Structure 1
Amino acid sequence: MSRTAARVFNSEFALISVVGEHQQWFRSCVGLGDMTGTDTNISFCAHTIALPDMDDLVVPDAQQDDRFRDNPLVTSWPFIRFYVGAPIVVAGQKIGSLCVLSATPRDGVEPAMLGQLNDLAGVASSLFALKEEARVRARTAAALLREEWRHALTLEAGKVGSWVWDIRSGEIACNEMFRRMYDLPETGPIQVAQVLDATHPGDRERVQAGIDASLNDGVDYEAEARVARTGRWLTMRGRVYQRDTEGKPLIMMGASTDITESKQSADQTRLLLRELNHRVKNTLAMIQSVARQTVRQNPDPHDFIEAFSGRLRTISAAHVLLADRDWAGVQLDEVIAAQLGENFRNDRQRAEVTGDDVMLPADHALGLGLILHELTTNAQRYGAWSSTGGVVSLTWTLKNEPARGLSLKWRERGGPLVASEQEHGLGARLIERSLSKVLDSEVKLEFRPEGVAADVWLPLPTESA
């Protein structure tokens, strides 16, 4: 553009400038070597864009013009004498000029040449406008791309598969998450029939009914279904967003979300509630049985309350332990600690405890807790722990023959001589019935002269450690 202007005016210098507050930049330049701009305060073009309207600036001889006589571009190289400039306008704003310069003064400029200069300045203005538009489009495209990535990451993080269904062609445009959800090909077009085929056979009828209702009745599409290959649960929501003039559906858009974890959580909650109801019934039956046995053994109200309260606290403590572990079981050490104290393994003067810790199922823990309560209460009142030198030996081993189970032995020594269970008040019948809920369990209780002895056998499931 500047080369064409130089040829029109047969001049050695021409340039396209953009003028800023403190600097003017040369966007196209002929004859000025490596110059890329000047300060605005010595710019000829700054005077051009300061003129009213769209006037051109013509300076026949800069040495004779008070505005430029002392300008360093006049007094030193390139020794400008002649200047003519036409403004460049973008979006109604003058931003610079297309100008021609010469080291030789001239008498004036022919109107036809000024017209050509303005035409060239108009082309330059259009090019600047196009470049600005391209820059705006690039920024917009970059912003849209960032927003698209942000949207995609949001859907990815939320495990949401988005889809747009062209109902006429049957083709579905979807994100990568949707493809992964349904185990669809990573690339290539997706047909709605492929999605239905990927749905669990037992759920396809429900999915199709929801789609039909949305297409025919205009209601929002909503369904829950499993994926055939993986068995994972998805919830799908959609809506017809476009119909033709006859009301026939054209485009449906929607999203699918993986709800497998929430489904599993709900199932687990229902399972725990059923288990809790079962346990509460068993516990109430156990409390009722303990109350009957206690009142037979302790007809006096004061004695009954004292004995029954201790047994009730034992049941309650076992329930707390089981509830804390979602009724998955309790460690044997925890059951023993509830009766003998947390330091039971180290207090060798009172109890000699030998055996590796083992996980007990819920019924085992409740029953064994009651047995140990009766044995420890009796030992404290009448048995080994009622004297200073008495010791209790508590040992257990895991056995695999004839079936896998826990063999636990309680032995007392060093206490008063034992006469009979009736005299000591030990709840023998309660001990023998405490494991009634545990099939194939067994309790043997003996009142030996040297001290009470109890042998407990508890069958354990094979997966227990």
Structure 2
Amino acid sequence: MTHRLTWFEPRRADGQLREFFIAALLDIGASLTLQDADGHYICITSLPPRWPLAAGQEPSDDSIFGPEIGARLKDLKAGLEQPGDGANLEVEPGDDTVFEFRCRLIRMSPDYVCLMTVLVDRTEERRRERLLRALLREVSHRSKNLLAIIQSIAFQTARYSGTLDQFLAKFRGRLHALSTSQDLVTDSSWRGAYFHDLVRQQMEKYVPETANLVHVTGENVLLSPNAALHIGLALHELVVNAISHGDFVSRRAIIEIGCSRLEGPDGEEIRVTWTEPLSPGLTTDLANTKAGRFGSTVLERVVPASVNGRVLHRLEGGSVYYELIFPAELHD
């Protein structure tokens, strides 16, 4: 037998078909009710557990769903006049749950019209929608922050570059440093980046064959997305300066990079350090060229301000020493 888009074998017993439809409704998490033209319930299947049927009581909208939802359902159903008319109602009965009622008048036979209501649990779907909206807002917020960082880097790099080639070389390097840090943040589902991974990402482009010259010690702290981006940028500036002006590679000198927690005046803090040994003759030259470079501005002003921290950057004792301390509760 065929009815519109539905087919079933005429010889199949009604009981078997009824069991099939009830099992299917249970599987998809939907409930089905059927009422006659006077509003009396004819059939109710697989109601959600929060709405149990009272023993010995004739079911009605009020007795099943309560007076508030029942009144809304009766008003909705009263507006259906012709077979084929339908209307939906979404309710939030409590416990962070969401249900949708889909009411429709259907013609069962030429002289017999019934009201069918499909009840669907939309809780998980609505939770996913809220989560997606929150994620989209977060992505938009972080994208704006990232664009602001890129704009600042571009402006300041241009300010301290004498030629277009110098600008392109420096800007590409800084942009690459930012992108590698962002990759770590994205891979962690925006939780941040671990310090050891951040160091490895920033070092491997410049010292791939001499990784043994960079020693990382201390705790492998999970840095927040904002801290990861800016500390990654600081590490980039430090290693570029070491390659450009230092001689640690030729002397096989060891750069020490550390990360540790300490107790500050206002709570736990994170300390990141960089110690780079220099040849005695290079210290004075580096001190003379340090002022007025954007790299120093990044290390001494941009990064500390971005993580609400304080910095110590000095050239003395035959080494470059950089120390950044910032609150752990904000960036852990």
TM-score exceeds 0.5: yes
State the partner residue of 2:32. 162
Q: Which 4+ stretches in 1 moved above 6 angstroms?
A: none
Cα-to-partner distance string for 1:175-213 (whole Å, 9 max, x where unaligned): 23x232xx022663532114443878xxx8876654343
Asked if the contact 2:224–2:331 (Cα under 8 Å) also holds between the matched residues in 1, the reply is no
Is the partner of 1:257 in helix, strand or coil? strand
| Alpha-carbon distance in 2 for matches of 1:454, 1:172 | 79
State the partner residue of 1:262. 125
State the partner residue of 2:52. 185
Code of the aligned partner of 1:453: Y
Closer/same/farther in 2, CA of residues 375 and 234 from structure 1, 3 Å limit: same
How far 1:451 sits from its partner (Å)? 1.8
How far 1:385 sits from its partner (Å)? 3.2
State the partner residue of 1:222. 88
Asked if the contact 1:218–1:240 (Cα under 8 Å) also holds between the matched residues in 2, the reply is yes
| Alpha-carbon distance in 1 for matches of 2:199, 2:156 | 23
Paired residues for 1:327-406 under 5 Å: 327-341=190-204, 349-383=212-246, 385-401=248-264, 402-406=266-270
State the partner residue of 2:298. 430
| Alpha-carbon distance in 1 for matches of 2:150, 2:36 | 66
| Alpha-carbon distance in 1 for matches of 2:67, 2:326 | 49
Is the partner of 2:156 in helix, strand or coil? helix
How far 1:287 sits from its partner (Å)? 1.3
| Alpha-carbon distance in 1 for matches of 2:181, 2:37 | 61
Unpaired segments ≥5 residues, structure 1: 1-138
Asked if the contact 1:384–1:392 (Cα under 8 Å) also holds between the matched residues in 2, the reply is no
Is the partner of 1:387 in helix, strand or coil? helix
Asked if the contact 1:198–1:227 (Cα under 8 Å) also holds between the matched residues in 2, the reply is no
State the partner residue of 2:3. none
Is the partner of 1:179 in helix, strand or coil? coil
Closer/same/farther in 2, CA of residues 206 and 444 from structure 1, 3 Å limit: farther
Code of the aligned partner of 1:460: A
Asked if the contact 2:278–2:320 (Cα under 8 Å) also holds between the matched residues in 1, the reply is no
State the partner residue of 1:49. none
Q: TM-score, normalised by structure 1?
A: 0.58
Q: Percent identity?
A: 23
Unpaired segments ≥5 residues, structure 2: 1-10
State the partner residue of 2:134. 271
| Alpha-carbon distance in 1 for matches of 2:237, 2:331 | 30
Q: Whose radius of gyration is greater, 1 or 2? A: 1
- What is the alpha-carbon root mean square deviation over aligned residues? 3.4
Cα-to-partner distance string for 1:333-364 (whole Å, 9 max, x where unaligned): 3222211239x9xx774122112322222111
State the partner residue of 2:45. 175
State the partner residue of 2:327. 459
State the partner residue of 1:410. 274
Asked if the contact 1:332–1:357 (Cα under 8 Å) also holds between the matched residues in 2, the reply is yes
State the partner residue of 1:18. none
| Alpha-carbon distance in 2 for matches of 1:199, 1:387 | 81
Asked if the contact 2:99–2:121 (Cα under 8 Å) also holds between the matched residues in 1, the reply is yes
Closer/same/farther in 2, CA of residues 436 and 278 from structure 1, 3 Å limit: farther
Q: Which has the higher contact order (CA 8 A, sep 6+)?
A: 2
Asked if the contact 1:225–1:234 (Cα under 8 Å) also holds between the matched residues in 2, the reply is yes
Asked if the contact 2:247–2:279 (Cα under 8 Å) also holds between the matched residues in 1, the reply is yes
